[in-house]
A and B are shown apart, each in its own frame.
Chain A
């Protein structure tokens, strides 16, 4: 596994930037499960589409809207 200190969180990406998901640091299990069910999983490529008013990102063919608090839990490595 990749060391915990590498990578940035999703909110730190620029709009249009692509990255690979490294891990999900969700505090509660529910959020983790929901994100995983939506296909937000390590190894997947994520593309940030917009940051305001909510974050919108694409994982696979799924587009997901999320607030900053949740997006901060998604740790990625820029491609």
Chain B
């Protein structure tokens, strides 16, 4: 349902009109660590974003574009993170404006952690982006979401092994039913510490 992915951000676009003053906050956030969420539409990215950030979220147009990007703050481990939710992305080679913005954002924002969220049922077609992100030298970690739905179709995934093969941290979650989220947060904190060291 990728066609619908804009809808919420478009409403937020209006909300942005009211919350302009909050933009100044971004200046203050510059000392925080940065975590960027990427992934295709419909993998539960926004649920994870909401879980991390709670209600203090600002939405703004990415400079010079009509694409909206949400930003919030989250305390993960002992550190404050600026969490950025990006529009849907299928591949590192952009086709749509949304994807172009996401890639630019990955370049410009210099994130401390890039969290790639994927659908456990469709790992086959989502893992190529993980490989591309790793290949690009970005600090990637993988979230295999919708584990419950994958289990329902009889699929089990060896998360440890996947993490070993890819050489990056991997978390398994079912964000919609709040499963694995604490563990995911712990892995982010751990990765953040390791990267900072």
The answer to whether B122 and A60 have CB atoms under 8 Å apart is yes
What residue of chain B has the Cβ atom nearest to residue A34's Cβ? B95
Residue from B95, B121, B125 in contact with A33 in the complex, judged by beta carbons closer than 8 Å: B95
Which residues of chain A in 35-72 are interfacial with respect to chain B, using CB atoms and an 8 Å cutoff?
Answer: 36-39, 41, 60-62
Q: Kindly list chain B residues whose C-beta atoms are within 8 Å of the C-beta of A30.
A: 95
Answer whether residue B51 sits at the interface, using C-beta atoms and an 8 A cutoff: no
Q: Kindly list chain B residues whose C-beta atoms are within 8 Å of the C-beta of A61.
A: 121-122, 124, 153
A61 to B153, CA, bound (A): 9
Interface size on B, residues (CB 8 A): 10
Provide the main secondary structure of the chain B interface. Answer: loop
Interface size on A, residues (CB 8 A): 11
Q: Kindly list chain A residues whose C-beta atoms are within 8 Å of the C-beta of B125.
A: 37-39, 41, 60, 62
A38 to B29, CA, bound (A): 36
A13 to B125, CA, bound (A): 23
Q: Kindly list chain A residues whose C-beta atoms are within 8 Å of the C-beta of B153.
A: 61
Q: Kindly list chain B residues whose C-beta atoms are within 8 Å of the C-beta of A60.
A: 122, 124-125
What residue of chain B has the Cβ atom nearest to residue A38's Cβ? B125
Q: Kindly list chain A residues whose C-beta atoms are within 8 Å of the C-beta of B122.
A: 39, 60-62
B residues with a Cβ closer than 8 A to A are: 40, 90-91, 93, 95, 121-122, 124-125, 153
A residues with a Cβ closer than 8 A to B are: 30, 33-34, 36-39, 41, 60-62
